[in-house]
Amino acid sequence: MAFQNPAVMTPSDDRASDPWNTSYLLDWLIGNTSMPLMEAGALGAREAAVLQLAREMVLEFAALYPTFMLFERYYCGDPPLAAEPVRLTRKYRELLVMGVSNWLGLVVDVVDERLQVSSIGSSTNATRDETAWKWWQRNKMDGISQRVHTTALKYGVAYVSVWPGETPELPKIMGESPLVCHVRFDDDDNAVAAIRIWKEACCPDIFVDLTMADYQFHLVADMTTVTPIVRENYYGPMGTFGGLDFTGATWKFRVDVDPVTANPIGVVPYARLRTMPDLLGGYRSEMEGLLPIADRINKTIFDRLLAQEFAAFPQRWVTGIDVPTDPDTNQPREPFNAAVDRIWTSSSPDTKMGQFATADLQPYLNAVTSDVQALATQSRTPPHYLVAGMGQFPSGESVRATEYGLTRKCQARQQSYGDGWQQVLHLCALVAGDQTLADDEELNVVWKDVEARSEGELVDALLKMGSLNVPPQALWQRWGASPSEIEQWTALMQQQAAALAQQRDAKVAILPSLDVAQQGVATRDLGNVGRDDLAVNPGGTSVDTNRVQV
């Protein structure tokens, strides 16, 4: 039985087996595989347990889905709108939608843009392990890893799965969203069971792949047994869909593909990246606790738009005139067409006109600024990222002081996500059959520096570190050079050092032919040739200057 990638499925009109009974899986194994009878009997006896596990995990997924969708809507700028009045007008609805401001998306993106993987190190090569880096690059993980980080920041968790690739030595890495995936982990953070759930547009069914350590089961449920959940007060472009209720769903084995396939890996090939993990296995979204502040900001902006629409334009009054009537309805009508570009006039000497005071919008603006400051404080986002002109833009040392909280938060995310990426790399090594890397505890991603520094400050710090005999490769890596650049620079430095060593050797060779005075001059010149270059070159050729002393 071939192991099937869950991302590739073949559409069919008839997806489900007959209503579940305890003999279906066993009958299929006996009739369609060469599996020994005892082994087929043991696997067939697990049918009820497999369907029950799938049902439980789907219900767990469905319970988490509305919360994940809520975070998704806030991140995309489509939060629930303010409560509607009884007399809802079209203009009121327009102002409700117009008053939405996407602050939480910025809070997530500020952290996400600093989480970049620059290399993969191991115990044999701390700068870059060529085998692991090949896995990373062939799977286009430079871009996919950023999307995984965004997912983990939004929902609090993101999954990554590893499958056999086109060739045995090249595993396939897939980022998995918790909107389509759910995984159970043990106390050691190893996956014990995983489901991937999706729906295809060509048919009214929902599909589930249940992956366990020894087998992967392919299941289906009729969409008519699933009840959609409708959200209230959602009028954005993403609609009112809020999730699915799977309580009444009946899961069956698929018949368009093999209902069960062997798992040659021997483990559930899933890892997770958690945001703010706790000791109970929990996690938190980067937006956790900030939703009420975002709602306050949107409500204040809506109130300002309401005042701006109906009270900011001066309301005028007039007395001492005859109110005209409509000849068609015989009802009083407005004597003037009030507008910002209209002037009222009257020929009656008894007419008096005036206007009421306009609404002051400054309190609304101040309230928004206050809430944005609260958002910046609680999320540890520098205020100048959120509001232009909120204080003087920092520079130099003040940048590090202002962004200290953000820097520490990004470093904490690197630490927690690094554990997940290490597990992914170990799974890659397991799939590729590289037991050395699978057991390498130092195999992990190398992060780019998250601290904001000017180029001059960074170079000055690296020069001081170089004076302490820190290896050049370490300095280049801290500066931000890529692994390929470090290799190229190292090779160039070794070539230069070899050329200088040849020059020194050539001068040493002619010393015996010189007189005493000439030898003294040549020896002094020899001591200055390439001294500094050879001193910093770990692979250069050194010259024993003691043998040329006079």
CA distances from 315 to 213, 347, 352, 386 (A): 73, 21, 15, 35
CA distances from 358 to 309, 310, 313, 500 (A): 11, 10, 6, 82
- For a pLDDT cut of 90, what percent of the chain falls above it? 40
Q: Read off the pTM.
A: 0.76
Q: For residue 490, is pLDDT > 50?
A: yes
Check residue 384 and give its pLDDT.
79
Give the confidence band of 61 by pLDDT, cuts at 50, 70, 90: very high
Listed in sequence order, the DSSP H helices in 113-171 are: 130-138, 141-155
Mean pLDDT of the chain: 81
CA 116 – CA 100 distance, rounded (Å):
30
256 DSSP 8-state letter = S
What is the DSSP secondary-structure string of 313-353?
A: SPPEEEESSPPPB-TTT--B--SS---TT-------TT-EE
CA 381 – CA 107 distance, rounded (Å):
7
Q: For residue 156, is pLDDT > 50?
A: yes
Give the confidence band of 521 by pLDDT, cuts at 50, 70, 90: low
Give the confidence band of 21 by pLDDT, cuts at 50, 70, 90: very low
User: How do 316-319 and 215-222 pair as beta strands?
Assistant: unpaired
Which residues, including other chains, have CB under 8 Å from residue 419's CB and lie 6 or more apart?
A: 189
pLDDT tens readout for residues 317-370: 777 777 778 788 888 777 766 665 567 777 778 788 777 777 788 888 899 989
The more confidently predicted of residues 510 and 92 is 92
What is the DSSP secondary-structure string of 432-484?
A: HT-HHHHT-TT-EEEEPP-S---HHHHHHHHHHHHTTT--HHHHHHHHT--HH
The pair of three-digit structure tokens given for residue 9, joined into one six-digit string: 């499925």
Per 3-state DSSP, the chain is made up of helix, strand and coil in percentages (nearest 5) of 45, 15, 40
pLDDT tens readout for residues 354-411: 777 777 888 888 999 899 999 999 999 988 787 765 555 556 566 667 788 899 999 9
The pair of three-digit structure tokens given for residue 188, joined into one six-digit string: 């050691």
169 DSSP 8-state letter = T
Q: Centre a 10 Å sphere on the Cβ of residue 158 and count the other Cβ atoms it contains.
A: 26
